[in-house]
Amino acid sequence: MEIVIKKDYDEVSELAAKYMLDVIRNKENAVLGLPTGGTPIRMYNIVVEEYKRKKILFNNIKTFNLDEYIGLSKLNKQSYYYFMNKHLFSYTDIKEENIHTPNGMTKDVLNECINYENKIKAVGSMDILFLGIGQNGHIGFNEPADFFEPYTHKVILKEKTVKSNSRFFEKIEDVPVTAITMGVKTILSAKKIVMLAIGETKADAISKMVNGKITPQLPASILQLHNDVTVIVDENASKYL
């Protein structure tokens, strides 16, 4: 794992955006794996600024988001689809059919998981996948567990995750407690992985991910098995490294 420690959020975001822009510039039909959460917002802002300067195009780019809440429609402001439109897609010429997020409104979750996994397989592999990390070491919505789930699957969110994500909702009761997420094998199938982490609340998870044992109790630790991972952290998140 390559670890890059940057001064602050802006510097982390600038480097992460550079990784995304390089892939988009060098491969017009690139496949991007994308995260949500507070951390990647500035990275998306920078990419949008570059798009507005007409330096890049999205018309042949395909995207796959890591996860989606079950029970939230695309029109729901808290859905990850809505988040992606708000922070990235709506500014660009990306084609709607090239945007992929798990369908949180499906009546058949198992089938949706299989379909989503197949859609990713059908494009070959993601050229680059960006990740955030939960305070408990989750990636996507792969929560600490007794075993790794390889493929796209349904998860029941941990109390800590619901609490932490409740800052985006009016009240904690509104936070869905289930979600669909790529599995760890899906994540590891990306050619390149870039993780972003900001702030002291992530420091413990980052240190365990980098220096701890590979364990499903800290899902991000599985990234030690991938041969092209760059972890970009600010000074606070690097505190225990």
Of the candidates 5, 38, 154, 239, which one interacts with ligand GLP according to CB under 6 A? 38
Cα 109 to the chain's mean position, in Å?
Answer: 20
Which is the catalytic residue, given 117, 138, 153, 165? 138
Residue 40 C-beta: closest distance to ligand GLP, Å: 7
The sign one gets for the Cα dihedral 231, 216, 118, 78 is: negative
According to the binding rule CB under 6 A, does residue 144 interact with ligand GLP?
A: no
Residue pair 191/126 in contact (Cβ under 8 Å)? The answer is: yes
CB 56 within 8 Å of CB 25: yes
Q: CA-CA distance, 178 to 70, in Å (whole number)?
A: 6
Site for ligand GLP in 39-68 (CB under 6 A): 39, 66-67
The HSE-up count of residue 225 (CA atoms within 13 Å, CB side) is: 14
Closer to ligand GLP by Cβ: residue 98 or 164: 164
Q: Count each helix (H run) and each strand (E run) in the chain, helices first.
A: 7, 10
| Residue 140 binds to ligand GLP (criterion: CB under 6 A) | yes
Can residue 81 be called a binding residue for ligand GLP (CB under 6 A)?
Answer: no
Sequence letter at residue 34: L
Q: Which region, judged by CB under 6 A, interacts with ligand GLP, from 5-13, 14-22, 87-95, 132-140?
A: 132-140
Catalytic status, residue 138: yes
- 136 assigned to active site: yes
Residues with a known catalytic role: 67, 136, 138, 143
Please report, as ranges, the residues that interact with ligand GLP according to CB under 6 A.
35-39, 66-67, 132-134, 140-141, 161, 165
